[in-house]
Chains A and B, each alone.
Chain A
């Protein structure tokens, strides 16, 4: 039997702009900012304010914009979001925060406020907080040449009944290149559900799939 789930919505933020399956399409020129955005960017993308957006780390900002482009609050009800899991993968992790915090150890004042963002689960917590996603939260570290584990784990979570919906995707947003990856500024999210509803099916990505997120990217534009 084919292992597959349904995609309810998806959104992406990359170096060109913010795009989503519900029609969001904004270039950074239109947004008058550089990725991953400023304090005004959420308003320009989604018409609402986000008081702490400018203070959160790059991957969290990228993920929030992708979620807004996916229309997360429109796709899932509050009750559904209370059961929704998060499962996101990253190559670069929190590299920019790690380097900033490490540099601050040699300065007069340690940047204690950014230390929690040295953990990638913290940026997923920013999603949980904003969208009240109260299911299991899983952050996965992947090698650049082996993407797709978050999709596989999300499908497992749905098949096992561990969550009825999963916000899945990838987030690599850092100033620096590292861990075999170019300096990236991209996040993609998709809302997955058991098969039989939604925009399209997403099949199990094989271990050696080179571009497992490509089917989701196509739904964003």
Chain B
């Protein structure tokens, strides 16, 4: 029998600064953390903006770029542990989710060599977690797959509590990589808008404490998860969105609910032409069997930028916040969608009374698709 898994703590560091409240107030308030590039200004690439951590986020002293993922991960972890009531770390472990983790040794000096588990070990050692860390790297779906992995372990009875920590920071390697693929919008990204030209990137870290104990919960369960692979191209999505639809279908089935019971969708919504079109088609096709069609949907990369491996956790926190606040944030930058009109997106904040279930989807290079259901 599967044990239920609850959320007991949350933490985040984004372009809005430190804290889940700053993130949620920014996104639900329609603000954006995409600003003219500062720390990365010297990188020659075809975009003017980035959702960098604001100056001063980590104190007055300048932090070397290579240390940003660790410093952000630690801040987010501390915040999540605070909300969780400071559980005993002796029998807790870190599930680290990132794209590259510690890039030292590849970008500049150091020994990280893009090994995610080394970042996980640093976080674990710095805060004194008793269990050995694990690390997942599933491209931009890392955060979602990390939550799924931790939930699976708790559900099977292996652990009482785990913390999922996700972090990535933008650097020259990443900016020029996406730039070389022609994937960057020169201006702040506009997911689903007809004039969209690509993605904007952002720094980010997120953390979520999962527990088997309802008494410790913030009132939200991880009720389902699912994954899939497009199996059609290693960087481009399946045009018909079959992978994202399949991951969503599996997560909803795992949660034991009907599609029509999902109250809000938190989208991957990168702002690239290919992602947004396929995501809209895949999810709309999935909901085509229901009378009401897709529930209200939102993405948040126009607010935070694409925080890569951290996005799945940060955006899951926003999905949970949508349930708590009873609101669906507007899709920043969206004026007129040219994607499948069946997908229920809007540029304006919408009310969401009596919401119980939120579905979060994420995609990554390698055709990776992940989906989570959060329930109140």
Number of interface residues of B (CB under 8 A): 61
Chain B hits for A119, CB < 8 A: 99-100, 137, 139, 364-366
* Least distance between A107 CB and chain B CB atoms (Å): 11
B113 close to A (CB within 8 Å): yes
Minimal Cβ-Cβ distance residue in B for A153? B149
Interchain CB contact under 8 A, B231 and A146: no
* Least distance between B369 CB and chain A CB atoms (Å): 8
- A85 CA to B225 CA, complexed, in Å: 14
- A120 CA to B226 CA, complexed, in Å: 20
Chain A hits for B138, CB < 8 A: 121, 137-139
- A129 CA to B158 CA, complexed, in Å: 33
Chain B hits for A102, CB < 8 A: 106-107, 173
Chain B hits for A128, CB < 8 A: 229-231, 366-367
Q: Of B57-65, B79-87, B232-240, which binds chain A?
A: B232-240
Interchain CB contact under 8 A, A121 and B177: no
B35 close to A (CB within 8 Å): no
* Least distance between A102 CB and chain B CB atoms (Å): 5
A149 close to B (CB within 8 Å): yes
Chain B hits for A98, CB < 8 A: 100, 106, 113-114, 173
A69 close to B (CB within 8 Å): no
Chain A hits for B116, CB < 8 A: 93, 141
Interchain CB contact under 8 A, A156 and B234: no
Minimal Cβ-Cβ distance residue in A for B226? A136
Given contacts A102-B107, A178-B113, contact A85 B227 (CB under 8 A): yes
- A110 CA to B136 CA, complexed, in Å: 28
Q: Enumerate B91-130 residues with CB–CB distance to A below 8 Å.
A: 99-101, 105-107, 111, 113-118, 120-121
Interchain CB contact under 8 A, A135 and B100: no
Given contacts A138-B145, A160-B155, contact A129 B231 (CB under 8 A): yes
* Least distance between B140 CB and chain A CB atoms (Å): 9
Complex interface bits, A14-45 against B, C-beta within 8 A gives 1, otherwise 0: 00000000000000000000000000000000
B243 close to A (CB within 8 Å): yes
Chain A hits for B254, CB < 8 A: 162
Chain B hits for A125, CB < 8 A: 229-231, 234, 365-368
Chain A hits for B153, CB < 8 A: 156
* Other-chain contact of B113, A140, A159, A179 (Cβ < 8 Å): A179
- A102 CA to B113 CA, complexed, in Å: 12
Minimal Cβ-Cβ distance residue in B for A123? B366
- A127 CA to B135 CA, complexed, in Å: 21
B41 close to A (CB within 8 Å): no
Question: What are some 21 contacts across the A-B interface (CB < 8 A)?
Answer: A94-B114, A112-B177, A112-B181, A116-B235, A116-B365, A118-B114, A119-B139, A119-B364, A121-B368, A122-B366, A124-B366, A125-B229, A125-B230, A128-B366, A134-B243, A136-B226, A136-B227, A139-B138, A139-B366, A143-B118, A179-B113
Interchain CB contact under 8 A, B229 and A122: no
- B178, B229, B243: which has the most chain A beta carbons within 10 Å? B229
Interchain CB contact under 8 A, A121 and B152: no
Q: Enumerate A41-99 residues with CB–CB distance to B below 8 Å.
A: 85-86, 91, 93-95, 98-99
Chain B hits for A192, CB < 8 A: none
Given contacts A139-B137, A141-B116, contact A118 B100 (CB under 8 A): yes
Given contacts A133-B229, A134-B229, A136-B226, contact A122 B246 (CB under 8 A): no
Chain B hits for A133, CB < 8 A: 229, 231
B187 close to A (CB within 8 Å): no
* Least distance between B371 CB and chain A CB atoms (Å): 10
Interchain CB contact under 8 A, A132 and B135: no
Complex interface bits, A152-165 against B, C-beta within 8 A gives 1, otherwise 0: 01001101101000
A207 close to B (CB within 8 Å): yes
Minimal Cβ-Cβ distance residue in A for B111? A179
| Supplied contacts A139-B137, A178-B113, 17 more A-B pairs, CB within 8 Å | A95-B114, A101-B173, A101-B177, A102-B173, A105-B173, A112-B177, A115-B178, A118-B100, A129-B232, A132-B231, A134-B246, A138-B145, A139-B136, A139-B138, A160-B155, A162-B227, A179-B118
